[in-house]
């Protein structure tokens, strides 16, 4: 795996290094020793799968409030998504800045999203799947969100979202 800093503190783009032969390929997607060497949380307490039927489906921007904020490792196992993380940590030098990257079955990229970031994605293909590994458990009472089109962040999505849940559409403007 190769680890690339994104410019937002703690947000890391990870690329697989597959070994290929006539059978196909093999690649590690997680190694706790590598995470620990980079001072990234290495515990995995929960894994989730998001299946999305239609291209243009937007999920996000979600996060958990303290004291239950989540660290996530996100990858697209089928199809393609434009994955976005927004720094919501008030003391951070990159507070309110965002980073977006295409994650796909083809490119194998993953995004390590630290606690204190909002996360969301827009599907770029029908039948896209996103796999999450979380270092922290989901706590429903701490679930929060910010709008995908909030002017406080000015996220540049690659396409107009076609499918959005009522909950995600109704998040209020972000107030710092």
Catalytic residue numbers?
A: 62, 132
DSSP 172: P
3-state SS track over the chain: CEEEECCCCCCEEEECCCEEECCEEECCCCCHHHHHHCCCCCCCCEEEEEEECCCCEEEEEEEECCCCCCCEEEEEEECEEEEEEEECCCCCCCCCCEEEEEEECCCCCEEEECCCEEEEEEECCCCEEEEEEECCCCCHHHEEECCCCCCCCCCCCCCCCCEECHHHHCCCCCCC
């Amino acid at each position: 795996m190769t680890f690339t800093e994104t410019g937002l503190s703690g947000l890391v783009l990870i690329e697989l290094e597959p070994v290929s032969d006539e059978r196909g390929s093999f690649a590690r997607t997680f190694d706790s020793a590598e995470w620990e060497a980079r001072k990234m949380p290495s515990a995995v307490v929960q894994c989730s799968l998001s299946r999305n039927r239609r291209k243009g489906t937007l999920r996000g921007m979600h996060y958990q409030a303290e004291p239950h904020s989540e660290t996530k490792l996100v990858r697209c196992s089928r199809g393609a998504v434009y994955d976005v993380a927004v720094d919501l940590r008030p003391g951070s030098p990159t507070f309110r800045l965002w980073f977006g990257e295409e994650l796909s079955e083809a490119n194998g990229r993953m995004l390590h999203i630290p606690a204190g970031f909002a996360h969301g994605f827009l599907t770029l293909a029908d039948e896209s799947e996103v796999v999450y590994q979380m270092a922290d458990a989901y706590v429903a009472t701490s679930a929060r969100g910010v709008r995908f089109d909030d002017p406080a962040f000015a996220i540049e999505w690659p396409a107009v979202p076609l499918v959005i849940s009522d909950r995600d559409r109704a998040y209020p403007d972000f107030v710092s």
